[in-house]
Chains A and B, each alone.
Chain A
Amino acid sequence: METMIFDNLKKAILEYDSKASAEWAQKAMDEKLDPVKVMDAMTEAIQIVGEGFGRDELFLPELVGAGEAMEAATPIIEAELKRTGAKRESAGTVVLGTVFGDMHNIGKSMVATMLITNGFEVVDLGINVQKNQFINAIKEHNADIVAMSALLTTTVQEQKNVIEALKQEGLREKVKVMVGGGAISQEFADKIGADGYAPSAPGAAELARQLLAN
């Protein structure tokens, strides 16, 4: 039974089927399977997609499709993890979102997927995220990294505002700050005092690893 559920859950992710992945995640919980093992199975599936992306066999639509299928199942498993207090091994926890005033979702979602495929736990706050939402999520999830996206030249400044808020809250030394998005450059990242910048989603995952290794 356990193997069958794991296989179907992985299959749902590999077939980019959010409905099926949520259903099989629920089934896993109903059958009282170990939530840590269930999360590991899902991570294994999404890593297969990530590897295909690295080999130029799969592309962004597949990456995002698989990411969303995993996202649909994750809250179901996380609720059980929270209830039992079980802990998963992860590369780190990343809080991410597109900054206030900016409604661009896609690049940020790609980064989220790449982070998940690289073993990070991701708390995706969505788009148009206010600085206090970032602060609260960092505190709540004890985040290692905050990652901010901004596509518009008019909203890049908001990344700086979040960094200032981190300083005021005494969190700046505790979390690494990553920035990205179409309007961002390394020069800008340095100027606002971010710890790192990556030009692409795969680059963001690599950057996150480097920041935590340092």
Chain B
Amino acid sequence: MLKGYTRKFKPLELISAEEVESIHRGALFVLASTGLRVEHDRALQLFADAGCDVDLEEKRVRIPGWLAEESVRKCPSSYLVKARDREKDLMIGGDTLYFMQGMGMRYLDLDTWETRPATIQEHKEAMIVADAMDDVHLADGVFFYMERKDIPPVMVMLENLASGLRNSSKAQQFGYQKNCEIFAIKMAKELGITLNPEMDTASPLTIYGSAIDAAIRYIEAGIPIQPCAGITMGAEGPITCAAAVVQGCATVMGWAVLTQLVKPGAPMSIQFGLKPMDMKTGSPNFGSVTNSMTTVMMNQMLRRYKIPSCTSAGFTSLSKKIDYQCGYEKSMGALISALSGGNLQIFQGGSCSELLYHPVLSILDNDVAGWVGRFLQGAEVSDESLAISLINQVGPVPGHYLNTKHTREHWKKEHYVPAVADRAPYPEWLVTGKKDALTLAKERMDHILDNHTPVPLSDNQEKIVENILKEARLYYKEKGLISDEEWTEYMKALE
């Protein structure tokens, strides 16, 4: 199992214990009075059988407080995600933070700063880079490069999952779309892994049938689920942080009830992103301070519920370039998410809302992940780390510590050394090409691609993956979801 980072101090809080309870009571009231719109007949029946007030015509479920609270209690406080390499399994929950590879629909051209659909090769290379970086704990082959030149949209998630599995032995994220989860579940079962699939909530207070279909399939297959509570404040949810968190918590408890009705004890975590709408452009303000504030509040609420959290405050920026804005928006969000107790953090590689991804950015982000992870581990205070006798022994100048065993033994674990940050002395920087962190990250990517080989699938595993892909391709072709023209191009690209 990967250790990730364990927080060694109290989590950051933005609201008091009394305020946490006010928000919780507000969410219970919303669930009981307004309830959720649930567009799924079987789920409506499950809610009704459990004692909810269900209006089948309106597809509205009003959930009593006792059921919401009981269901939250039934959710496990942590769960296992099985990787292809079992040494890389994750145990999500508690005081542990894992970083998850980020997302972005399109490939970013670093010469023009314009985006375009990615190729199969570019997806493969980005996965190899993610596999090489220790601080990508959960790989996400699925949600980056979803817009492709050579793969029909309906097959992108499965092809991306296959590329993720072929080019990384780490645990994998997944999702759902037009029944593709049926094939993903089959693949996971035959490979002996679990996935960490996420499913959407349509805010405000609505869960669509396709998300519930997928959730039920995963739960019944013994795979943990990760419902998302995404809210654009001022549009899909109220504008104030407190009210948005009330709505978020109503969503969390609604999902908890559904999950526990399908299978008591079934594990879930909650992915969330509560960010304000830009009142000029209408787009969600990822990377904003509000996004970080609601992250702290939601982490407080999820700690109360003992449900693992997956944060997204650092997963993207509004910047179109890999620049100062991109760096500070992502880093601030990442740090605040971690300090406030997020268990899983979507992070390395994405920017410009959910538009772009680049492995060079994932390398830069990975330095931030290491920085944040080191901070979480805190400062050890022990006889060895206090080193009182050493301070006495070295004494004043000309005494120094560079020659001591204590320095040699402790510096690497006490201090984090980023892989690509520019740390050259100024004169050396002048004569070695005036390289900035972006240039150094590009060089690092080349180095990884030249030197890192992920542990490949065995012949049998490759056969399993390819057979299931073939089955899915034919299924969607027969359903008319892949046109003849798309099929020809697709088959050519796979050659």
Contact = CB atoms under 8 A, between A and B. Distances in A.
A148 interface: no
A38 to B, nearest CB: 22
Contact of B408 (A16, A104, A105, A127): A16
A185 B425 CA distance: 11
Interface stretch (A60-68, A78-86, A157-165): A60-68
Interface in A2-40: 16
Interface string B399-426: 0101111011001000000000000011
Question: Closest 4 A-B residue pairs measured CB to CB?
Answer: A199-B427, A61-B408, A105-B398, A61-B407
Contact of A106 (B402, B405, B408, B428): B402
Contact of B402 (A64, A103, A200): A64
29 contacts: A16-B403, A16-B408, A59-B411, A60-B402, A61-B403, A61-B407, A61-B408, A61-B411, A62-B408, A64-B403, A65-B404, A65-B405, A67-B403, A103-B398, A104-B397, A105-B397, A105-B398, A105-B400, A106-B400, A106-B402, A109-B400, A109-B402, A109-B403, A127-B397, A185-B427, A199-B426, A199-B427, A199-B428, A200-B428
A54 B397 CA distance: 29
A127 B427 contact: no
A103 B428 contact: no
Nearest to A110: B402
A87 B79 CA distance: 70
Contacts of A132: none
Contacts, number: 44
Contacts of B425: 199-200
B403 A103 contact: no
Nearest to A18: B403
The residue in B397, B402, B408, B425 that gathers the most chain A C-beta atoms within 10 A of its C-beta is B402
A126 interface: yes
A52 interface: no
Contact of B427 (A65, A105, A186): A186
Q: Most chain-B CB neighbours within 10 Å: which of A60, A127, A185?
A: A60
Contacts of B405: 16, 65
Interface of B: 397-398, 400, 402-405, 407-408, 411, 425-428
A8 to B, nearest CB: 19
B202 to A, nearest CB: 51
Contacts of B408: 16, 61-62, 65
Q: Is the interface of A mostly helix, strand, loop or mixed?
A: helix
A186 B428 CA distance: 11
Nearest to B406: A61
B395 to A, nearest CB: 12
B319 to A, nearest CB: 31
Nearest to B429: A199
A193 interface: no
A127 B398 CA distance: 8
A105 B397 CA distance: 8
A75 interface: no
A185 B427 CA distance: 8
Contacts of B427: 185-186, 199
B162 to A, nearest CB: 36
B411 A68 contact: no
A60 B425 CA distance: 15
Given A61-B402, A103-B397, A106-B400, A203 B407 contact: no
A155 to B, nearest CB: 14
Contacts of B411: 59, 61
Given A199-B426, A200-B428, A126 B398 contact: yes
A106 B404 CA distance: 12
Contacts of B428: 199-200, 203
B153 to A, nearest CB: 45
A200 to B, nearest CB: 6
A106 B405 CA distance: 16
Contacts of B407: 61
A59 B411 CA distance: 10
B398 A68 contact: no
Contacts of B397: 103-105, 127
Most buried by A among B398, B404, B407: B398
A64 B426 CA distance: 23
Interface in A159-214: 185-186, 199-200, 203
Contacts of A103: 397-398
Contacts of A61: 402-404, 407-408, 411
